Amino acid sequence: MSLRLAPQVHTQRGFFVLCLLLGLGILSLAALNLSTGYSEISLHEILFSDAISTIANLRISRVAVMALCGLAIPTSGFLLQEYFQNPLAGPSVLGITSVASLSVALFIFLSAEWNIPIFLHNSLLSTFAIVGSILLMLLLLVVSSRFKDRSTLVIFGFLISALCGAVVSLLQFYGQSESLKNYILWSFGSTAQVTSGQIRILAVLVLVGLLLAAFAVRPLIGGLLGVQYASSIGVNLSSLKIFVIVSSSLLAASITAYLGPILFIGIIVPHFSRMVWNPAMLWHQWILNMLLGILIMQLFSVISESSQLPLNVITSLFGIPVIFTMFLKKNQRI
């Protein structure tokens, strides 16, 4: 018996060591993120000095938001990639990001003439994005109940994304210059406008999304062996579809609402996780996705603050070459 258990114990130890290393990396980058900014302030001053409480709160909020983003977006991408069995599936595959962007664009361009206080403006902007994404999520559930083929959801999401892109382009063409500027700034991705109250709301939304994701992981394991086998062992494929749609939609929509569209992270982080650990061990994969997601988002936040480049520019500059490399490797295997 001990000989049979030895490989499993070795695997568990290796996974624990990997998680420990990632945890240390996260703590190091979080500390560096706290110390990075326009003003040169040490980590000790950030944590213990009352004289710079405003700057400290902004930087602590930035680290917290990046951690939530690192939990949410990779989990959304992980669920979609495993469900559709497509390594290029990401949070945008169902049109969630596009609908959230359209909702924000509608609010920004239509409210140009309204006299709304800044604090209320930011809250309404995020609310519009979440409400729009929830409406699409309900529509996806209806569509998924009528069509059994999984590829139908991908095609539907592509059509929704194209439609949203067309409407946003029309709004940009006819919108005022100030509204256009505000939308472009939102689309770059920023943590500067996220208040402590919004962070608490975002944390609750992400927590709910992660809990729903936990219910989807075990059925996904059975689904890896095929639809017929999954049905034979009692996996409810309809419930699995609902958990995947609701969880991935909620996670992607909540982050997009408060930070803007975070591009490519939902694709490249699951790819890295499969590179460093057994792709068939989905529970381990999910944990690695969250740890790697937090690590990468803290790193990108440091780079963004140091270079003064928008967050989405950083994620695109990093993500596009990685995805292109994935295409090349896939073609070589074929």
Is residue 310 within 8 Å of 189, Cβ to Cβ? yes
The runs of H, that is alpha helices, within 36-52 are 43-48
Q: For residue 5, give Cα distances in angstroms to 10, 12, 221.
A: 9, 11, 21
Distance separating the N- and C-terminal Cα atoms of the chain = 41
The whole-model pTM stands at 0.87
Examine the pLDDT at 145 and tell me if it is beyond 90. Answer: no
Q: What is the pLDDT of residue 292?
A: 96
Which secondary-structure segment (H or E) carries 123? helix 118-146
Q: What is the pLDDT of residue 12?
A: 82
Q: What is the pLDDT of residue 233?
A: 64
Distance, CA of 191 to CA of 126 (rounded, Å): 13
Name the residue ranges covered by the structural domains of the chain: 17-34+41-333
Is residue 75 within 8 Å of 210, Cβ to Cβ? yes
Q: What is the pLDDT of residue 232?
A: 66
For the domain spanning 17-34+41-333, the CATH number is 1.10.3470.10
User: Which range, of 136-145, 175-184, 266-275, 292-301, averages the lowest pLDDT?
Assistant: 175-184
189 or 317, which is more confident:
317
> Which residues, 6+ apart, have CB-to-CB distance to 209 below 8 Å?
72, 75, 76, 247, 248, 250, 251, 254
Please report, rounded to a whole number, the percentage of residues in the chain having pLDDT higher than 90: 28
91 or 199, which is more confident:
199
Distance, CA of 106 to CA of 123 (rounded, Å): 15
Please report, rounded to a whole number, the percentage of residues in the chain having pLDDT higher than 70: 88
Amino acid identity for residue 174 in this structure: Y
Across the range 60-88, mean pLDDT stands at: 91
Q: What is the pLDDT of residue 247?
A: 92
Q: What is the pLDDT of residue 1?
A: 37
Q: What is residue 236's DSSP assignment?
A: -
Across the range 266-293, mean pLDDT stands at: 92
275 or 56, which is more confident:
275
pLDDT band at 26 (very low <50, low <70, confident <90, very high): very high
In tens, the pLDDT along 239-270 reads 888 888 889 988 998 898 888 888 889 999 99
In tens, the pLDDT along 168-212 reads 888 888 877 777 777 887 787 777 678 788 899 899 999 999 999
312 or 67, which is more confident:
67
Instruction: Output the average pLDDT for the chain.
Output: 83
Residue 220, number of CB atoms within 10 A of its CB:
22
Which residue has tokens 């440091």? 302
Distance, CA of 36 to CA of 322 (rounded, Å): 26
pLDDT band at 5 (very low <50, low <70, confident <90, very high): very low
Which residue has tokens 């990046």? 66
Distance of CA 244 to the CA centre of its chain: 14
